[in-house]
Amino acid sequence: MRPFRYLLLLPLLATTTLTMAQDKKLFTLDDLIPGGSTYYSHTPSRKYVTWWGDYCVELDLDKVGIIDNKTGQNTTLFTLDEINSILQTTTPLRSLYYASFPYADKSQVMIQHLGKQMLVDWKDKSIVWSVVNSPSATNTDFEPQSKNTAYTKDHNLYVQTSDGQVTQVSDDGCLDIVYGESVHRNEFGIEKGTFWSPKGNKLAFYRMDQSMVTTYPQVDISTRCATMVPDKYPMAGETSHKVQVGIYSPQTHGKIYLQTDDPTNRYFTNIAWSPDERKVYLIELNRDQNHAQLIRYDAETGKKEAVLFEEHNDKYVEPLHPIVFLPWDSDKFIYQTRRDGYNHLYLYNTDGKLLKQLTSGKFEVTELLGFNTKLKQVVYASNENDPIGISLWSVGMNSKRKALGETQGYHYPELSANGNYAIDRYSSPTQPYNIDLVNVADGKKVNIHQAEDPWKDYKVPEMKVGTVKAADGVTDLYYRLILPTDFDPNKKYPAVVYVYGGPHAHNIDASRNWGARGWDLWMAQNGYVMFCLDNRGSEHRGLEFEQATFRHLGVEEMKDQLKGVEYLKSLPYVDAERLGVHGWSFGGFMTTSLMTTYPEVFKVGVAGGPVIDWKYYEVMYGERYMDTPQTNPDGYAETSLLNKAQNLKGRLLIIYGGNDNTCVPQHSLSFIRACIDAGTHPDLFVYPGDEHNMMGTDRVHLHEHITRYFEDFLK
Amino acid sequence: MRPFRYLLLLPLLATTTLTMAQDKKLFTLDDLIPGGSTYYSHTPSRKYVTWWGDYCVELDLDKVGIIDNKTGQNTTLFTLDEINSILQTTTPLRSLYYASFPYADKSQVMIQHLGKQMLVDWKDKSIVWSVVNSPSATNTDFEPQSKNTAYTKDHNLYVQTSDGQVTQVSDDGCLDIVYGESVHRNEFGIEKGTFWSPKGNKLAFYRMDQSMVTTYPQVDISTRCATMVPDKYPMAGETSHKVQVGIYSPQTHGKIYLQTDDPTNRYFTNIAWSPDERKVYLIELNRDQNHAQLIRYDAETGKKEAVLFEEHNDKYVEPLHPIVFLPWDSDKFIYQTRRDGYNHLYLYNTDGKLLKQLTSGKFEVTELLGFNTKLKQVVYASNENDPIGISLWSVGMNSKRKALGETQGYHYPELSANGNYAIDRYSSPTQPYNIDLVNVADGKKVNIHQAEDPWKDYKVPEMKVGTVKAADGVTDLYYRLILPTDFDPNKKYPAVVYVYGGPHAHNIDASRNWGARGWDLWMAQNGYVMFCLDNRGSEHRGLEFEQATFRHLGVEEMKDQLKGVEYLKSLPYVDAERLGVHGWSFGGFMTTSLMTTYPEVFKVGVAGGPVIDWKYYEVMYGERYMDTPQTNPDGYAETSLLNKAQNLKGRLLIIYGGNDNTCVPQHSLSFIRACIDAGTHPDLFVYPGDEHNMMGTDRVHLHEHITRYFEDFLK
């Protein structure tokens, strides 16, 4: 369910303003929903910065400036006019927003212009290098040292070397056999299918044979006569694809495949290169996902050299991070695992020996950002400071951790190549959007951007965050409560619970508006109390918290949500007879589950892109949490909403993308069929042509539609 | 749109009872909707009768009786026990409801039992003949003289001769090439693909090559992983299929094809045999459907012998009836045409010479039932007596017409083989369901069944029929008005217009309840005024009435419907602010058209299985009325609801069968997409797995759903 996660993280960055002044403005839905015509003018202002070595440079439409690490002052490096006078093309380059600076020690900027990729030296005023981009290339992967580019076209893999020569690496690519694309449905942290060695001399790539996987028939209604668009979709318990890892050498045109174990029902994840480009490391996993092995292969011969170590968990192990070698010691690497209950950094050597657990404690390392080579420190992000925040940290080889820069709020830091500085982008409930430059050595920060509150003239509803105890009676769960605009404590308001509830996501955090979505505010403005709670099973709270849901997704999650509802009902201004619930994807599953499991609690629900029966969901994500329909028939039966269709009492609107290839339409349609057979009456809406999430103006339409449903039946 | 028509004609036969007594019962929806658990106990009682020569026999579970032509008295012919004692099978035959009597002069009954077709002589007490039915045979076509059976299996044609031997007539049958099945999508009166010669010595059959036709991807969600079910569906203006007519001789196993003109864009319709089995007559039509030819072929050689005559119409000609030879003169036949504006019977000879127009007048011959050989009369049904009734008539070769039997009401007569008697099934607003035996010679009738009013203990709302002037200011249009149960003339009621409006169908007739549907009564009981009007374009009112809609379907029809609405609004008890509209298929098109063309008139609409753009409808029906998108771009643009999506103001629920292969899902989904793009908000519901109409319990669920929508938004 990664596509959803992406959306979830679309940052809504600004500050919470508690104001009731009568002269303030009201929002339109377009102001609040991504895709709305006035959305961007209602988001905090941005500054586009990137790294050139240890220099932070600011990208502007017509110039690039260099920012002083100490003062934050911007000095122009070059202008768009200067670049265009070098390019001498009849059609000028229009913007420098997409410029990049791959070489710390060179005054060279990389740009894309008129179908070419070019390096321009702004000091020498010359075009240093250029190649013609291959038309219709996808999955483009440029390696700056070698200037080699890997890309795919029609499921085949191609490599363009720095001289512009193109070699077709595979020739039998098709829907059934794909090269150079992401595999295993983007699970296990996999987001791409090509992996350049550190100096770009070799390319590791995925090959996936999915000829044995069932084809889900998606239908394109936009053609003159509707056409079938086949999508290979392996469903839980069904035959899965087979993946191989190939190694291609642009110099020799040699191509080999790693001599792995039988790829049937095996996952090949987290590809990493040794610094000398001679070895490839994979984390391999059995289909049951309870046994992982870190394995080293010889990149020349493809031979399996060693299983460095293994991990086992009775429920599941989920490797998400390739190993990363220390820049100052090519025999040692960092490995991330939740084996002690939280995701932490471990130092290993290439014999597979554990040298040290670098971080530990009841918090999660959320990202390994890189290394400060000078200080021999690892720089990372974690929620140690606040379970619902993220901030910047370093840790030395002695396991001494240090908080860096601003520690409050929710941060997306980006480290410079040598790790001396970090660009620290963040927001908090009181800060709409800031960027600091942080000196890793001393942790000191210089602010280089502070966005004004874009909502200062608006009536922003009051938002609160707190905790309630989970259904286990022990665990603290975070909730967010939003009061209706112009709140009157003596009134009774309808309340809507927004829910996601699945793994790898959260809804409440220490960012702008406590992570509230624009629609939450819209509903508050329309007179609803909005409530949201991150139940057990959601992210950043450790392994036990997540694994409480194992083999019966939804069951514990619902119990926790009801604890939230209990609290909600205890509020004197909440009308317990008018409770609604809305969620998308896993949240659509939760919504439908809640409506049919606790039909007396919720009067109205809107479930988007829901999972209805985990047997229709895909192998990788689904079996991790549910095992297979064959090995866990009771769990599948208990959680299948096909078996609960007869319980529906309230008003439930199911919405899905007509071409959803994440939660395929079979989910929603099977539920509708089950309700018809049971004599119950859900409502339905479809966004033809859309996939798992509605984007652009469709997203505005969607939220109008959802709102209307609550207005029709909950108000 | 034939499948809809079938449903439309599901007879709801009983009498209108005008009663307001407070102690009477109220209906449940199950009482009123076919498929409802209590539906059949609320329909008029039936009697199952059929012909054995000139004898009317009554089929019962456990016996067959013969009915006296004069007295109507039933004398048992044989019992089920007697038949079972002849059969001597361990599993006895369970019912005689499906018995038939193919031979007038023999005491033989045809039954199907334990996978066999058998003829049992109830006097000789012997099994006279039996063959084993071919398993999984479809389109079975038995010819009683020869006892040959034609059938299809996996799109191939087979013939089983009376000795049980099976010959496979074709071997390349597949989805692309089909044999022995109905062609041209059941238009032009075509309902089957095999046509035995009069004595069963030869078989004419259709072969259709549809390899060049686009495949509509229907999706079956009931399989483990959804699967694509390809459906060859030729859309208006697109490449159509090619049809041939073959002749097969079971004696010689010879097979030839008629040497027709190029079958590209040509329709081969209304296959008829000459009495001597030597000639085959087709009515052939160009793709534009404005030029028909009656053509004779030699059945031995396949050679085209003669074009007997032609018909042309600037709009369209629509041959629906094969020629029928006079039983007493094999050189003369009856041809039906609306060339004078109404469907009438014409006598021709085999030279193609018109001998006489047998019927004429401003009424329609609705069915040629057969001949009375003795009197040399044609027996037919027509609406001469009442434009909204149908009754039984005969006409002699001198064109003298005579009304037979009961003339009031709506009749479904069935003539005996020699035409001496007719079984006359009918109902009227005062007669729930009657069966008379009519003597064709003198027109006298004997009643053999009179159903009691099954609703006598119920509160049946008041129903009225009348006429208003069409938008042309001249034509009378019939409407039906149903008042709410417990009607109070001083109240203001919401009103719902039920609409079909397309060709080949009507809604108001002189049958039980004036043709009202069960849902109309349900709505009346729920407090709605129900209104229905048969606009220009509907059936039984002549060619000009129908062709008013040519090349811009919906436009004139809507103008007429608004005349009905004008009348409806003039009624003091109708709340003009609460008007709804509902229709299915063409009626779904009308509903959506009305909601988006006259958004100020209707507040709520429910459109089922709608046509949204005629370019998505099929070639045969669509091009007859609309020509092609290429030749009539303005007409297609004017009537496309994709262009009116932005006009939607009221609440419109679109419902369709998830596997509708008549109005394919592309219609509804394209409209939803257009509305999303236009920022308007229809509602939607889908019946997964259902085709163009919901049957059984789905039909009850459907009408609950439709009702709920009006209750939600119109009340």
pLDDT of residue B565: 98
A-B Cβ pairs (cutoff 8 Å, strict): 112
Q: Which two tokens stand for residue B371?
A: 């001949």
Ranges of beta strands (E only) in B134-265 are 138-143, 148-153, 156-160, 166-168, 177-179, 194-196, 203-209, 215-220, 227-232, 242-248, 255-257
CB contact under 8 A, B221 and A673: yes
At residue B636, the 3 state secondary structure works out as: helix
CB of A431 within 8 A of CB of A381? Answer: no
CB contact under 8 A, A226 and B665: yes
CB contact under 8 A, A225 and B665: no
Contacts with B, A 198-227, CB within 8 Å: 214-217, 219, 221-222, 224-227
Please provide residue A117's backbone torsions phi and psi, each rounded to the nearest 5 degrees. -105, 130
Residue A207's beta-bridge partner residues? A179, A244
At residue B465, the 3 state secondary structure works out as: strand
Distances (CA, A) of B470 to A164, A452, A677, B402, B515: 74, 66, 43, 32, 21
pLDDT of residue B129: 98
In chain B, what residues touch A709 (CB-CB under 8 Å)?
A: none
CB contact under 8 A, B225 and A219: no
In chain A, what residues touch B217 (CB-CB under 8 Å)?
A: 217, 219, 226-228
Confidence bin at B260 (pLDDT 50/70/90): very high
Among partner residues A216, A222, A669, which is closest to B658 by beta-carbon distance? Answer: A669
Confidence bin at B23 (pLDDT 50/70/90): confident
Distances (CA, A) of A256 to A184, A233, A269, A292, A525: 21, 28, 18, 24, 61
Among partner residues B214, B238, B673, which is closest to A689 by beta-carbon distance? Answer: B673
CB contact under 8 A, B673 and A688: yes
pLDDT in tens, B579-601: 999 999 999 999 999 999 999 99
Over 80: is that where the pLDDT of B4 sits? no
User: Rounded to the nearest 10 degrees, how much is the dihedral formed by the CA atoms of A682, A687, A692, A697?
Assistant: -130
Confidence bin at B280 (pLDDT 50/70/90): very high
Contacts with A, B 656-685, CB within 8 Å: 658, 664-666, 669-670, 672-673, 676-677, 679, 681, 683-685
- Report helix, strand and coil shares of chain B as percent, to nearest 5: 15, 35, 45
CB contact under 8 A, A224 and B238: yes
CA atoms lying within 13 Å on the CB side of residue A465: 20
3-class secondary structure for B319-363? Answer: CCCCCEEECCEEEEEEEEECCCCCCEEEEEECCCCEEEECCCCCC
Q: Which two tokens stand for residue A146?
A: 């070698």
Q: Check CB contact of A707 with chain B, cutoff 8 Å.
A: no
d(CA A213, CA A388): 40
CA-based nearest residue to A639, from A581, A582, A589, A698:
A589
Q: Check CB contact of B629 with chain A, cutoff 8 Å.
A: no
| Enclosing H/E stretch for B519 | helix B518-525
Mean pLDDT in residue range B162-166: 96
Mean pLDDT in residue range B431-448: 98
Q: Check CB contact of A705 with chain B, cutoff 8 Å.
A: yes
Select which of A113, A449, A552, A692 is catalytic: A692
d(CA B493, CA B488): 9
At residue B20, the 3 state secondary structure works out as: coil
Mean pLDDT in residue range B44-71: 96
In chain B, what residues touch A658 (CB-CB under 8 Å)?
A: 669
Instruction: Judge whether A692 counts as a catalytic residue.
Output: yes
ipTM of the complex: 0.95
CB contact under 8 A, A684 and B687: no
Over 80: is that where the pLDDT of B5 sits? no
CA distance B628 to chain A (A): 14
Per DSSP, the residues of B428-453 read ETTEEEEEEEEETTT--EEEEEE---
What distance, in Å, lies between the first and last C-alpha atoms of chain A?
Answer: 32
Report the mean per-residue pLDDT for chain B.
Answer: 96
Among partner residues A664, A676, A712, which is closest to B687 by beta-carbon distance? Answer: A676
Select which of A613, A627, A660, A690 is catalytic: A660
d(CA A611, CA A587): 9
Q: Check CB contact of A569 with chain B, cutoff 8 Å.
A: no
CB contact under 8 A, A673 and B224: no
Confidence bin at B14 (pLDDT 50/70/90): very low
pLDDT of residue A23: 86
Q: Which amino acid is at B686?
A: V
Locus of tokens 């436009």: B555
> pLDDT > 70: what percent of chain B?
97
- The gap from C-alpha B145 to its chain's centroid, in whole angstroms, comes to 28
> b or e along A122-154 (b: 16 or more beta carbons within 10 Å of the residue's beta carbon)?
beeeeeebebebbeeeebebbbbebbbbbbbbe
pLDDT of residue A15: 41
pLDDT along chain A (715 residues), means of 10: 41 44 89 98 97 97 96 96 96 97 97 97 97 95 98 98 97 98 98 98 98 98 98 98 98 98 98 98 98 98 98 98 98 98 98 98 98 98 98 98 98 97 97 98 97 97 98 98 98 98 98 98 98 98 98 98 98 98 98 98 98 98 98 98 98 98 98 98 98 98 98 97
Domains along chain A with CATH numbers: 2-44+454-582+601-640 (3.40.50.1820)
pLDDT of residue A19: 46
Select which of A585, A593, A640, A670 is catalytic: A585
Q: Check CB contact of B235 with chain A, cutoff 8 Å.
A: yes
Q: Which amino acid is at A473?
A: G
**Mutate which of B221, B613, B615, B707 to disrupt the A interface (most A C-beta within 10 Å)?**
B221
- Residue of chain A with shortest Cα separation from B235: A225
CB contact under 8 A, A687 and B676: yes
- Residue of chain B with shortest Cα separation from A655: B684
Q: Check CB contact of B233 with chain A, cutoff 8 Å.
A: yes
At residue B6, the 3 state secondary structure works out as: helix
pLDDT in tens, B483-515: 999 999 999 999 999 999 999 999 999 999 999
CA distance A393 to chain B (A): 46
At residue B526, the 3 state secondary structure works out as: coil
| Predicted TM-score (pTM) of this structure | 0.96
**Mutate which of B628, B646, B669 to disrupt the A interface (most A C-beta within 10 Å)?**
B669
In chain A, what residues touch B222 (CB-CB under 8 Å)?
A: 673
d(CA B558, CA B591): 9
